[in-house]
Structures are given as structure tokens and as C-alpha cells.
Amino acid sequence: MTRSVPELIERIAQIFDEVGIEYVIGGSFASSMLGEPRATQDVDVAVLLDEPSLERLLSITEGEFYVPVEAARASLAHAVPMPSFNLVDLEGHGKVDVFVLGDSVLDRRQIDHRIRVRIADGFEAWVTAPVEVVLRKLLWMSLGENMSDRQWRDVVGVLSANRDSIDLDDLRSTAAELGLAGLLVEALRQAGE
């Protein structure tokens, strides 16, 4: 039986909590929770990970998820430009993209500013806060990784839905620090700020 995206998130959050891995749900799922709702087929999760935690993760997921072990170890060592690996649900074939956080400003902020969000009845998970969703998506766009209209709508949707709660001074300051000021100005204009 295929797990729904919320069921997949719930299971992954349980595993990360059991292993003691700090995590935060990001990507399209976070932006649709905090902005304009849209369907997504996979889940992006950013994690703080060390070698013992990775080994416990590999052990606990064995038989339930396929994990490309060498990719996971390379990500932990930050031996690749965008350190990430997948957890593929062996039963339902849902996919979790696991991004290993480093010590960059945005990586630290994504964990430090994460928020608890109700995902399903009786279940909450850590989700990337609105400011960091916007910054992360703008950063991906600036790198040419994902220049889609859908991603841009995600940014504008999060800004529009959270305009009363976002600290705009902090957002502008961090965007400038990351070289994203120009993209942010246009996103804020389109969001009606």
C-alpha cells in the first residue's frame, strides 16, 4: 500500500526522532503548507547529521527504505556539491530527499527557526519557517537549480500568506547577505508588499 505524503512524513519524523537527528521539512511540501497549496510527490528534509547518527539511520531504515549508502556517506562528508541522498519507501515507493546541512548561514537558520506544524490529525512535524522557505527557494533559483514558474509561485505564495508575520527587515538583511536582494525585491512586489 502506498503511503500518502503526510504518512511518509510522519514515518520519517518518527525515525529521525528515534535516532536523535534534528530535521526540518522543506521544499514544496513546506511552501504549500505555508503558502499556496499544491501537490508534491516527494518530501525534502534537511538534517543535521553525524557519522553515528547516519549509521543508526541506515540500521533502522533497513528493510523499510532503500538508502544508497555510498551517497549517504558522501553527503555526510560534504564530498559532493549539494550533499543529499534519498530514502525510498520500499513498499510504497515514496521518496524522501535528505539534504545534509552544513554550517552556512541559511543551513543554521533553517534548523534554528524551524516551526512545529500540524501535518495530520494528532501529528506535528518540524517545518521550515516562512522566511527560510523564501530564502532557500530564492537561493536555488539564483544557482540556476530550479528556475520554474511553480517555484516562483511558491515564493510569492509564502510571502503573501505570511505578510503579517514575516520579519521583513530580517528577510531583507539575510537576502542581501546571501546575494538574493534583487530576487527578493521582485518577489515582494509580486506578493503585494
pLDDT in tens, 134-169: 999 999 888 775 567 888 999 999 999 998 999 999
What domains appear along the chain, each with residue ranges and CATH number?
Answer: 5-127 (3.30.460), 130-190 (no CATH)
Check residue 85 and report its DSSP letter: E
Between 144 and 126, the more confident residue is: 126
Residue at grid coordinates 533497513: 62
Name the helix (H) or strand (E) containing 123. strand 123-127
**Grid cell digits, residue 115:** 516551526
pLDDT at residue 50 tops 90: yes
CA dist 193 and 180 (Å) reads 17
pLDDT at residue 121 tops 90: no
pLDDT in tens, 58-99: 999 999 999 999 999 999 887 667 799 999 999 887 899 999
Q: Which residues 6+ apart lie within 8 Å of 56 measured at CB?
A: 19, 20
Q: Is the pTM of this model over 0.85?
A: yes
pLDDT in tens, 105-120: 999 999 999 999 998 8
**The pLDDT value given to residue 24:** 97
**The pLDDT value given to residue 40:** 78
**The pLDDT value given to residue 151:** 85
**The pLDDT value given to residue 146:** 53
pLDDT in tens, 6-33: 889 999 999 999 999 999 999 889 998 8
